[in-house]
């Protein structure tokens, strides 16, 4: 049986591919990318049908972060000319959230720059969560506030939060090359704190930071072990004024392979196309909907995204449908309805697929139809011509007097 058929069968059984198989997906040629998308699309449709979940970001506090994450325009020492403002008031944040919900978003993600929240910050965010829930109790609220201290996840849950996001971003072995002011272990600890508090954990990665195929496979397998309900896949937006501004190594085809590999490793979780899809996938964004079942609507934290109405048209034209507020996102074996939000429950240990065989060594199969068995890794691809014209600093929405993009 060829590689892709093997991966489909494993995905339908929630069985992990081997590392060699995951690496082989990343090493497939551009000529085979449609075959890869078609195969991973079978797994996506099996668990999530043709539904696309819409999420909306609200940047509660922008810029002036003391951490030195190389990819981030809000980092310590950043020269990026982004919006900078302190905490939005609960009514301002809830108004921004309402704009996203009216545009079709089912989940609102409340994000704040910084190492992690103080107890006073948790109070502020809790007030905002309550204000959003008072407007519409069916809205899922995910908080993303950095590293959590003991007891803070529980307080956010009590205030009405449904989920907590904290990304691993890259592999443990290369994490120190990206960030020095906190550790990979700190991030794992925060995801575990969210789990322990009963929040739906959301944790993902950033591709395009100069990492190897092995790094990408490492971080996705680490995410599988952490067992989040949702895995956002970000594609680096190289913003001027940041250390990674010259990292333009992604092509649309490579982005599709990364999403497909993530789907095969985490078959039954919400895989979300996050930041950078417009910059790197470009006109091939509709193909990515066959791999991921979730996207962000409108703008990001500090950069502008595709127009909200264009997102909706793209979803419809590609033959998908926006997931409704009353629909549960996750498959039945992972999901339980929490406060009407449909967040996942980890009772029963369903996990990100079945963990049996995660360290197997069966190797890759041969591609039927004239292909060859893909090698475990390939030489780095040459950087494509930078598309700096596609990177725009956000100047509207939260923290401004202009209408949001939703």
Give the whole-angstrom CA distance, residue 403 versus residue 96. 9
Could you tell me the two tokens for 202?
A: 């959301």
Mean pLDDT estimate for the chain: 87
Query: Catalytic: which of 14, 19, 44, 65?
Result: 65
Query: How confident is the model at residue 384, as a pLDDT?
Result: 63
User: Which residues, listed in sequence order, are joined to residue 272 by a DSSP beta bridge?
Assistant: 232, 294
Answer whether residue 257 shows pLDDT above 50. Answer: yes
The continuous run of DSSP H or E covering 273 comes out as strand 270-273
Query: How confident is the model at residue 68, as a pLDDT?
Result: 87
Residue 366 contacts residue 64 (beta carbons within 8 Å): no
Average pLDDT over residues 15-20: 98
Q: Is the dihedral of CA 233, 238, 243, 244 positive or negative?
A: positive
Query: Catalytic: which of 44, 109, 257, 364?
Result: 109
Average pLDDT over residues 71-77: 80
Query: How confident is the model at residue 203, as a pLDDT?
Result: 98
Query: Catalytic: which of 69, 144, 255, 352?
Result: 69
Q: What is the pLDDT of residues 107-133, one digit of tens each?
A: 999 999 899 999 999 999 999 999 999
Query: Catalytic: which of 14, 224, 254, 272?
Result: 272
Query: How confident is the model at residue 379, as a pLDDT?
Result: 45
Is residue 69 flagged as an active site residue? yes
Give the whole-angstrom CA distance, residue 273 versus residue 288. 8
Is residue 202 flagged as an active site residue? yes
Residue 325 contacts residue 106 (beta carbons within 8 Å): yes
Could you tell me the two tokens for 184?
A: 């990979």
Average pLDDT over residues 88-100: 94
Could you tell me the two tokens for 206?
A: 């950033």
Is residue 130 flagged as an active site residue? no
Give the whole-angstrom CA distance, residue 24 versus residue 27. 5
Query: How confident is the model at residue 302, as a pLDDT?
Result: 76
Query: How confident is the model at residue 80, as a pLDDT?
Result: 72
Query: How confident is the model at residue 312, as a pLDDT?
Result: 96
Per DSSP, helices labelled H in 184-293 are 184-196, 213-226, 252-265, 277-280, 285-288
Residue 99 contacts residue 404 (beta carbons within 8 Å): yes
Query: Catalytic: which of 14, 19, 44, 142?
Result: 142
Secondary structure letter of residue 353 according to DSSP: S
Q: What is the pLDDT of residues 160-173, one digit of tens each?
A: 999 999 999 999 99
CA distances to 90, 192, 210, 226, 230 from 200, in Å: 23, 11, 30, 12, 8
Q: Give the number of other Cβ atoms within 10 Å of residue 96's Cβ.
A: 24
**Backbone phi, then psi, for 302, in 5-degree steps?**
-125, 0
Average pLDDT over residues 252-266: 98
Residue with tokens 């797994």: 43
What are the domain boundaries of the chain?
Answer: 3-369+372-390
Query: Catalytic: which of 202, 255, 343, 352?
Result: 202
Answer whether residue 28 shows pLDDT above 90. Answer: yes
Which one has a higher pLDDT value, 272 or 360? 272
pTM: 0.87
CA distances to 15, 72, 143, 247 from 237, in Å: 32, 9, 22, 9
Q: How many helices (H) and strands (E) in the chain?
A: 13, 10
Query: How confident is the model at residue 336, as a pLDDT?
Result: 58
Per DSSP, helices labelled H in 228-355 are 252-265, 277-280, 285-288, 308-317
Query: How confident is the model at residue 63, as a pLDDT?
Result: 80
Average pLDDT over residues 260-279: 96
Is residue 352 flagged as an active site residue? no
3-369+372-390 falls under which CATH superfamily?
Aldolase class I (3.20.20.70)
Query: Catalytic: which of 44, 72, 157, 394?
Result: 72
Query: How confident is the model at residue 352, as a pLDDT?
Result: 53
Give me the DSSP letters along 141-165.
Answer: EEEE-SSPPTTHHHHHHHHT--EEE
Q: What is the pLDDT of residues 286-306, one digit of tens each?
A: 999 999 999 999 887 877 788
Q: Comparing C-alpha atoms, which of 115, 199, 118, 125 is closest to residue 165?
A: 199
* Start-to-end Cα distance in the chain: 45
Q: What is the pLDDT of residues 325-338, one digit of tens each?
A: 999 999 999 975 33
Give the whole-angstrom CA distance, residue 380 versus residue 73. 26
């Amino acid at each position: 049986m060829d590689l892709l058929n093997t991966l489909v069968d494993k995905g339908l059984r929630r069985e992990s591919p081997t590392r060699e198989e995951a690496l082989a997906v990343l090493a497939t040629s551009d000529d085979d990318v449609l075959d890869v998308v078609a195969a991973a699309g079978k797994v996506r449709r099996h668990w999530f049908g043709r539904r696309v979940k819409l999420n909306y970001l609200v940047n509660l506090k922008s810029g002036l972060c003391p951490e030195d994450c190389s990819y981030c325009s809000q980092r310590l020492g950043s020269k990026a000319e982004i919006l900078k403002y302190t905490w939005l008031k609960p009514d301002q944040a809830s108004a921004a959230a309402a704009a996203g919900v009216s545009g079709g978003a089912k989940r609102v993600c409340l994000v704040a720059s910084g190492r992690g929240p103080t107890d006073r910050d948790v109070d502020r965010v809790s007030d905002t969560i309550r204000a959003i829930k008072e407007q519409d109790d069916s809205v899922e609220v995910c908080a993303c506030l950095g590293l959590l201290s003991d007891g803070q996840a529980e307080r956010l849950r009590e205030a009405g939060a449904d989920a907590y996001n904290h990304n691993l971003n890259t592999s443990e072995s290369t994490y120190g090359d990206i960030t020095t002011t906190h550790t990979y272990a700190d991030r794992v600890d925060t995801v575990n704190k969210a789990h322990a508090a009963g929040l739906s954990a959301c944790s993902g990665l950033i591709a395009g930071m100069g990492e190897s195929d092995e790094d990408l496979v490492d971080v996705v397998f680490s995410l599988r072990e952490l067992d989040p309900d949702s895995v956002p896949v970000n594609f680096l937006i190289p913003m001027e004024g940041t250390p990674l501004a010259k990292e333009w190594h992604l092509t649309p085809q490579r982005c599709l392979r990364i999403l497909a590999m993530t789907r095969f490793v985490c078959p039954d979780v919400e895989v979300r196309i996050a930041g950078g899809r417009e910059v790197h996938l470009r006109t091939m964004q509709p193909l990515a909907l066959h791999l991921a079942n979730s996207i962000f609507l409108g703008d990001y934290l500090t950069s502008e995204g595709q127009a909200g109405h264009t997102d909706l048209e793209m979803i419809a034209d590609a033959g998908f449908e926006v997931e409704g507020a009353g629909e549960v996102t996750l498959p039945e074996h992972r999901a339980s309805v929490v406060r009407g939000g449909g967040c996942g429950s980890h009772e029963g240990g369903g996990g990100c697929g079945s963990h049996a065989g995660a360290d197997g060594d069966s190797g890759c199969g041969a591609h039927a139809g004239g292909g060859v068995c893909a090698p475990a890794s390939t030489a780095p691809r040459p950087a494509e011509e930078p598309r700096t014209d596609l990177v725009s600093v956000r100047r509207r929405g939260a923290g401004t007097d202009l209408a949001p993009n939703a």
